[in-house]
Amino acid sequence: MRMAPTVPVSRQLSYSLKDGDSFLVCDALGDIHGEGEADGLFHEGTRVLSRLKLTLDGTSPTLLSSAVTQDKVVFSAHLTNRPLPPIGDAPSTQGVIHIERSRFLWEGRLHERITCTNYARLPVFLPLAIEFGADFRDMFEVRGMERARRGTYPRTETGTDRVVLHYEGLDGVARRTVVAFSAAPTELHGGMARFERWVAPSEAFELYLEAGAGAAVPQARRHRHAEVQARRALRARRRSGARLRGSGLLFDAWVERSRTDIALLASDLPSGRYPYAGIPWFSTPFGRDAIITALQTLWVDPELARGVLAYLAERQAGETSAFRDSAPGKIMHETRKGEMAALGEVPFGLYYGGVDTTPLFVLLAGRYFRRSGDHAFIDRLWPALQRATQWIEKSCDADADGLLAYARGEPSGLANQGWKDSDDSVFHEDGSLATGPIALVEVQGYAFEALQAMGLLAESRGERRLAETWRARADWLRARVEQHFWDESLGFYALARDGGGRMCRVLTSNPGHLLFVGLPAPERAQRVIDQFASPRFDNGWGVRTLAADQPRYNPMSYHNGSVWPHDVALCAAGMARYGARRQAARL
């Protein structure tokens, strides 16, 4: 019987690092493989290092352990040698060389230290090789998108201790990666550096490596200084806002881990700190994700919300584009750098295909003002808030039911434009997919609070007539939601209304977001809470995105039965708002 080839454990595990617009994905050995693998060193949406593999005499070392430090700055792998080639009458040796790979990212560069220590009683010959390469592929290409044409690789420059790899993109941008070493290799060419050393007992061979766009001279002092700077920068972001301490060690550890994760995701931009959406493939500014992060941390760190609002206001849409799903006043869904985005091969250079981001932007501004009382910042933001609200009102006016709905402009855009944006996340009770324009229930809740927020902010500016107008419109929208979405036979709110006016009568977590904004009448809110507390929704980890007895339920799916922490948090906050604190705490 033939056995399928197994993948080494070291290849099954992956580790990530991030700094600013750079991130790295490698396996447990610290290797980057490229060529069909979704790993590498990426900078501004381009894979600038697609191969980085360490071998001894052509063989990968044995993995002992690997981890990322608690502060998320440094990756380290501890390895040992397989049998080395015999030298003369000396026997083959195994497990006598300890290899430590320690690396971090700082200011767009990879810094790595490789330490090989000899624990044998005799000198050991060390045939160390490092394979490297840069394919300069766009992130979307790495993730599987095919391109009809690519740029060119004009030349490779080889020096005594460095190699410069070049790429001329179709976007007219010349990109390069410099791979430099602290010691001159015995052999160096376009894709490999070989170091041959005799290492005495209890001694170590230490090598420093850097990879980045600029030239550098790697050395121990420079490495230590850069590591200190990287740790200091993350520590500064981590210390932003209030500190929380409780009476339980587990709670304190959870809070500190959360602070570290947010500090890692946040990048210091000219407009302020901005939390990127996720590592690795969403390590870029997203609108919705940043707003929700800012909402959830507002009570301890309002400065994060300020940075999010400022960044999004600067990128507010000013024109209509079906390709980018943009319209004047809309707030961006995501932005990407890289060759394909620059050429328009994908719409995500600056993409607006999120129906909820714009009302969430206004909602966050209102909550930020209530938390901070920052009149000056709101005054600065006011034109952007007015444009966003005008887009909401215009969109609702264009809808037959007065609801905020979406339909993508072109097939290249997102089919579903709420937070559950997978293709199969909006459907009917018979399992058939809904067609647009689609009005999601939670989006109406966001628009409701956005209008209320504009009333609050206008009142604070002395514009009482405007305040009354927006509050009245919020009340009107509340009535429309209660009229159209509440289903008495379900004892629950429908997921959405499709383009034909048909309601999607399925039980999902989406109405929990209505509780978060305080839209439902108390008796209806309680019925939603009771459903969330039932086994059909509560699986012990939180509220399922889709109840277990509904069509298309799959607990392994992206949005149809899985549990999302931010979704659960918003549902729990909404439950607590209506007095169900015990149920919220249980979640």
**pLDDT tens profile 547-557:** 999 999 999 99
- Let me know if residue 23 belongs to a domain: yes
Q: Which token pair is 197?
A: 């050393």
Helical (H) or strand (E) element with 109: strand 109-118
Whether residue 74 contacts residue 66, with contact meaning beta carbons closer than 8 Å, is answered with: no
Beta carbons within 10 angstroms of residue 535's beta carbon = 11
User: Do residues 224 and 133 share a domain?
Assistant: yes
Q: Which token pair is 16?
A: 């990530």
* Dist. CA 540–CA 587, nearest whole Å: 8
User: Do residues 293 and 221 share a domain?
Assistant: no
* Dist. CA 274–CA 287, nearest whole Å: 10
- Let me know if residue 41 belongs to a domain: yes
Q: Which long-range contacts (CB under 8 A, 24 or more apart) does 51-54 make?
A: 51/131, 51/132, 51/133, 51/134, 51/191, 52/26, 52/130, 52/131, 52/132, 52/211, 53/130, 53/131, 53/132, 54/29, 54/30, 54/79, 54/99, 54/101, 54/114, 54/128, 54/129, 54/130
User: Do residues 397 and 273 share a domain?
Assistant: yes
The enclosing domain of 488 has a CATH number of 1.50.10.10
* Dist. CA 513–CA 442, nearest whole Å: 5
- Let me know if residue 410 belongs to a domain: yes
* DSSP state letters, 389-402: HHHHHHHHHHSTTS
| pLDDT of residue 569 exceeding 60 | yes
* Dist. CA 107–CA 210, nearest whole Å: 12
CA distances from 320 to 59, 258, 330, 352 (A): 56, 39, 10, 10
Which among 506, 532, 556 is the end of a domain?
Answer: 506
| pLDDT of residue 3 exceeding 50 | no
User: Do residues 226 and 266 share a domain?
Assistant: no
- Let me know if residue 342 belongs to a domain: yes
* Dist. CA 255–CA 275, nearest whole Å: 17
Split at pLDDT 50, 70, 90, the class of 281 is confident
User: Do residues 289 and 200 share a domain?
Assistant: no
User: Do residues 287 and 201 share a domain?
Assistant: no
Comparing CA positions, the residue from 327, 332, 329 lying closest to residue 287 is 332
Q: At what angle do helices 357-372 and 441-460 cross, to 10 degrees?
A: 40
Q: Which token pair is 526?
A: 């309680």
- Let me know if residue 192 belongs to a domain: yes
Query: Strand pairing partners for 496?
Result: 440, 504
pLDDT more than 90, % of the chain:
89
Mean pLDDT of 2-14: 64
* Dist. CA 323–CA 351, nearest whole Å: 9
Which pLDDT value is given to residue 444? 98
Q: Which token pair is 264?
A: 């890692």
Q: Which token pair is 195?
A: 């170091």
Beta carbons within 10 angstroms of residue 51's beta carbon = 20
| pLDDT of residue 172 exceeding 90 | yes
User: Do residues 245 and 215 share a domain?
Assistant: no
- Let me know if residue 284 belongs to a domain: yes
Q: Under 8 Å CB-to-CB from 435, ≥6 apart: which residues?
A: 498, 499, 500
- Let me know if residue 147 belongs to a domain: yes
| pLDDT of residue 4 exceeding 50 | no
Location of structure tokens 């600038």? 48
| pLDDT of residue 14 exceeding 60 | yes
Q: Which token pair is 535?
A: 């086994």
State pLDDT tens for residues 471-501: 999 999 999 999 999 999 999 999 999 999 9
**E strands within 350-493?**
350-351, 439-440, 486-487, 492-493
Q: Under 8 Å CB-to-CB from 351, ≥6 apart: which residues?
A: 324, 325, 326, 332, 333, 334, 335, 336, 413
Output the average pLDDT for the chain.
94
Which pLDDT value is given to residue 89? 58
Handedness of CA 518, 522, 523, 527 (dihedral sign): positive
User: Do residues 364 and 469 share a domain?
Assistant: yes
User: CA-based Rg of the chain, rounded to a whole angstrom?
Assistant: 27
Which pLDDT value is given to residue 88? 62
Which among 216, 232, 248 is the end of a domain?
Answer: 232
Whether residue 391 contacts residue 328, with contact meaning beta carbons closer than 8 Å, is answered with: yes
Handedness of CA 512, 515, 521, 522 (dihedral sign): positive
- Print the domain residue range for 217: 9-232
User: Do residues 270 and 156 share a domain?
Assistant: no
Q: Rounded to the nearest 5°, which phi and psi values hold at 126?
A: -110, 105
Mean pLDDT of 334-341: 95
The enclosing domain of 101 has a CATH number of 2.70.98.40
Task: Work out how many domains the chain is built from and give that number.
Answer: 2
| pLDDT of residue 559 exceeding 70 | yes
| pLDDT of residue 280 exceeding 90 | no
Split at pLDDT 50, 70, 90, the class of 1 is very low
CA 195 to chain centre: 38
User: Do residues 255 and 219 share a domain?
Assistant: no
Q: Which token pair is 47?
A: 């894979």
Which among 506, 539, 554 is the end of a domain?
Answer: 506
- Let me know if residue 207 belongs to a domain: yes
User: Do residues 338 and 471 share a domain?
Assistant: yes
Mean pLDDT of 351-368: 97
User: Do residues 286 and 189 share a domain?
Assistant: no
